[in-house]
């Protein structure tokens, strides 16, 4: 699974250009979630993130805007990652 994400990051994403409104990007978020939490929980976390990924996502109350304009949404803040 991680190889397919890396393939997307190295070959598809440069062609498509930067489109993600979040930091880390959705593909990096997916990589980190699968790497840290395993394939089943990682896929669920990535699906949750992709459903939230939109240009219309507001900054409050869950996200704050970084200096580069991206919304901060680390993997550790996902509800599935909470103990």
Q: What is the mean pLDDT of each run of 10 residues along the chain (83 residues)?
A: 89 85 92 95 93 76 84 87 75
The model's pTM: 0.85
- Which among 70, 67, 51 is positioned nearest to 59, based on CA atoms? 70
22 bridge partner residues: 71
**What angle, 0 to 180 degrees and rounded to 10, lies between the N-to-C axes of helices 39-52 and 26-37?**
160
Per-domain residue ranges of the chain: 2-6+19-55+62-81
Rounded distance between C-alpha atoms, residue 25 and residue 73, angstroms: 9
What is the model's pLDDT at position 63? 81
């Amino acid at each position: 699974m991680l190889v397919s994400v890396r393939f997307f990051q190295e070959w598809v994403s440069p062609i498509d250009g930067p489109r993600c409104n979040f930091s880390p990007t959705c593909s990096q978020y997916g990589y980190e979630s699968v790497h840290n939490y395993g394939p089943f929980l990682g896929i669920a976390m990535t699906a949750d993130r992709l459903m939230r990924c939109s240009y219309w996502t507001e900054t409050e109350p869950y996200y704050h805007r970084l200096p580069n304009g991206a919304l901060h949404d680390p993997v550790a803040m996902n509800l599935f990652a909470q103990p």
